[in-house]
Structure 1
Amino acid sequence: MAAGGGGGGVPRMKLGSQGLEVSAQGLGCIGMSAFYGAPKPEDDMINLIRHAVHSGVTFLDTSDMYGPKTNEILLGKALKGGIREKVELATKFGIKMEGVREIRGDPAYVRACCEASLHRLDIDCIDLYYQHRIDIRVPIEITMGELKKLVEEGKIKYVGLSEASASTIRRAHAVHPITAIQLEWSLWSRDVEQQIIPTCRELGIGIVAYSPLGRGFFSSGPKMLEKLEDGDFRKYMPRFQPENLKHNTILYERVNALASKKGCTPSQLSLAWVHHQGNDVVPIPGTTKIENLEQNIGALSVKLTPEEMAELESIASADSVKGARYGAGVSTYEDSETPPLSSWKA
């Protein structure tokens, strides 16, 4: 990890092997516009984004399905006035929200989404463009072929995948280098450590950890649920249901006790654990409050000893969490295998 950055002492790091450099902590922007209750006031969110960038958190994460589309428009406004040159902007395509929700990765859709995102963001080139979910009807080589064309045309700089299996990552990387894999990685989501993380490291692919605070659970534990607005999708997530919450609260309480001993907040300790996974890992905690952003940046200063890491590992063992990451019907890396290329008929 290199020191320095856009200000505020946030380190810089290389993400992947193709030359992308980002802040060692990013900012997930989803909650500003969608899924976590009502959209937040635009001016407040623009101020938050600019405050993040001035503080050195320059790696911003959005998607065309956040809103849908309104989060990209918000970021486009926030990047005006010389901000664009200071940030590494990541957005995503692949989840069609109009009418019936659908996963798509066919070439025409890939291209149309890219053009639309460029327009909404009001930029010439997307720094990192992810396939948000894998279309299991389309060979990954076909989707990657179109993304490769978009790189060659200068519309995107680097390519990423989100929620992709190890074998899908290998096939995609053989067509065009993958710069980053986005995945859920936190003290209560560690399944990716078995196959996906080792595959990324073997291939020199950067790792972007979303929901590193367990969707806010490691900030305030079960109290978080008392404050959720109508329309907050966490109300329906398996891990927050009564039959699982009591068990999962034990994990939070043990993390909280260790944080108290360490002199930091439980969210800082949880985030520091992700940061300590390696210099190829960038967590992208989301927030809509400047004080939370500052607290998250503070996690970069929390140094964990091997003994503390081992204690956290034992607290966050496989049986420490109950409930799936998502409810039924949500696609993840576990169902991301695509047909062989030979089966494709355009």
Structure 2
Amino acid sequence: MQMRRLGRNGLLVSAIGLGCMRMSNIMGGPQPPLHGDRDKESVKTIEAALDAGITLLNTGDFYGMGHNETLVAEAIRGRRDRAFLSVKCGIQRTHTGTILGMDGRPSSIKNYAAYSLQRLGVDHIDLYQPGRVDPSVPYEETIGAVADLIGEGKVRHLGVSEVNADQLRKAHSVHPVAALEIEYSLASRFIERAVLPVARELGIGVVAYGVVTQGLLAGAMRKQVVDPALAASFPRFHGESLQKNLTTVEFLEHMAATKGRTPAQLATAWMLSRGDDIVALLGMSRRSHLSENLGALDISFSSEDLDALDKVFAPGAIVGSRS
């Protein structure tokens, strides 16, 4: 496993992180029976990832209303020292999955952390981050609550998620930010304009999610009917936008075929090529996906390959907003 340091704080984590979100029903409704076949496979997937050298496990207290953290807890039992736990907090949902907003009040942040520590069965969280910015609470107060938790030894490092450049500076002025979790891929390059330069100026690592863009860059959407709920939530997967985007992705599919690789592997390898301060967060819920994802680690691009990808997937080439 390749290891990378996130920012100037020197957090050493695996170049590929395991996103655990899809192991739970994040859209609401009843969860599958705890310890059912799906949960057993999820736990085995986390264990296999750890065995393969993946150290970064990414979860959230709002993934399945705590369900996700219980899966992680079971998988790391007896091997806590091999896992770097990244936990997001604070996004409010109804029982049907509807997002109500973010609660970033300091008292709430500390309450969320207490429950996460209990569900995970650990005495500290390695990286703790508010899931979004709460517009009704001064961001400095939200970040200050995480800083308090760090002072108490319940959290090791501060992370932030889906913030703009100004918010990133504001958080860092309260307490050093170790990592920014944000969408970044061939299809979503918006952070390159302002956010990524600020992160690098401040010495903040980037944990990139959405690396294969819900399957678009993996070629999956060409082979199956797109889930109507997905299309409704992400305009880039709807109607003419989807058709145009699939045409753009054909270039990646062709390059992958010539290299004997999959489009998803190339999308991940491109992400890793963007800098040693970037970690690719990949969602997996089955062990069968692990080998393919790890195969991205030994892919290298020629300068001609990178230039071609940069041209075809220039910012704005994938049409339709990301949410």
Question: Which TM-score band (shorter chain)?
Answer: over 0.9
Supply the RMSD in Å over aligned alpha carbons.
Answer: 1.8
Partner of 2:81: 85
Q: Match of 1:330? A: none
Task: Report the Cα distance in structure 2 between the residues aligned to 1:158 and 1:11, rounded to whole angstroms.
Answer: 21
What is the match of residue 212 of structure 1? 211
Is the CA contact 2:232–2:238 (under 8 Å) kept in the aligned structure 1? yes
Instruction: Report the 3-state secondary structure (helix = DSSP H, G, I; strand = E; otherwise coil) of the residue aligned with 1:304.
Output: coil
Q: CA deviation at 1:98?
A: 4.3
Deviations along 1:89-126, one digit per CA (max 9) or x if unpaired, are 10111202247712111110010001011111111100
3-state SS, counterpart of residue 214 of structure 2: coil
Structure 1 runs of 4+ with >6 Å offset: none
- Report what 2:55 is aligned to: 58
**CA 1:259/1:120 → structure 2, altered by over 3 Å: closer, same or farther?**
same
Q: 1:131: how far off?
A: 1.1
- CA shift at 1:36, angstroms? 7.6
Gaps of 5+ in 2: none
Mapped pair 1:256 → 2:249: no
State the match for 1:272 in structure 2. 269
Alignment counterpart, residue 16 of structure 2, candidates 19, 22, 25: 25
Structure-1 residue corresponding to 2:302: 305
Superposition deviation, residue 76 in structure 1:
0.8
Q: 2:45 aligns with which of 41, 44, 48?
A: 48
Gaps spanning 5+ residues in structure 1: where? 1-9, 327-346
Give the paired residue count.
314
* Residues in 2 aligned to 1:71 and 1:252: alpha-carbon distance in whole angstroms: 32
Which moves more between the two structures, 257-266 or 24-33? 257-266
Identity %: 36
Superposed, which structure 2 residues align to 1:66-77 within 5 Å?
A: 66-77=63-74
Q: What pairs with 1:1-346 in structure 2 (closer than 5 Å)?
A: 10-35=1-26, 41-80=38-77, 82-98=78-94, 101-223=100-222, 225-226=224-225, 228=227, 233=230, 236-326=233-323
Using the alignment, how far apart are the partners of 1:253 and 1:29 within structure 2? 29
Tell me the CA shift for residue 84 of structure 1.
1.2
Spell out, residue by residue over 1:32-76, the C-alpha distance to the aligned partner (whole angstroms, 9 max, x if none). Answer: 102489757111111110000000111110001111211011111
* C-alpha spacing 1:160/1:296, structure 2 compared with 1 (3 Å): same
2:211 and 2:268 in contact (8 A); partners too: yes
Letter in 2 for 1:29: C
| Maintained 8 Å contact 1:50/1:83 | no
Q: Say if 1:83 and 1:125 are closer, same or farther in 2 by CA, change over 3 A.
A: same
Instruction: Give the conservation status (yes or no) of the 8 Å contact 1:216–1:224.
Output: no
Partner Cα distance (2:285, 2:269) in 1: 20
| Amino acid in the other structure paired with 2:90 | G
Shift of 1:225: 4.2
Q: Counterpart of 1:170 in 2: which secondary structure? A: helix
Larger displacement relative to structure 2 (189-198 or 232-241): 232-241
Alpha-carbon distance in structure 1 between the residues aligned to 2:235 and 2:75:
34
CA distance in 1, matches of 2:224, 2:190: 25
Amino acid at match of 1:156: V
Separation (CA, whole Å) in 2 of partners of 1:172 and 1:16: 15
Distance 2:201 2:233 in 1: 36
Aligned partners of 1:36 and 1:234 also within 8 Å = no
Aligned mates of 2:49, 2:27 — CA distance in 1: 20
Q: Distance in 1 between matches of 2:5 and 2:294?
A: 18
- Provide the secondary structure at the position in 2 that maps to 1:318: coil
Give the SS at the match of 1:183: strand
Distance 1:17 1:42 in 2: 37
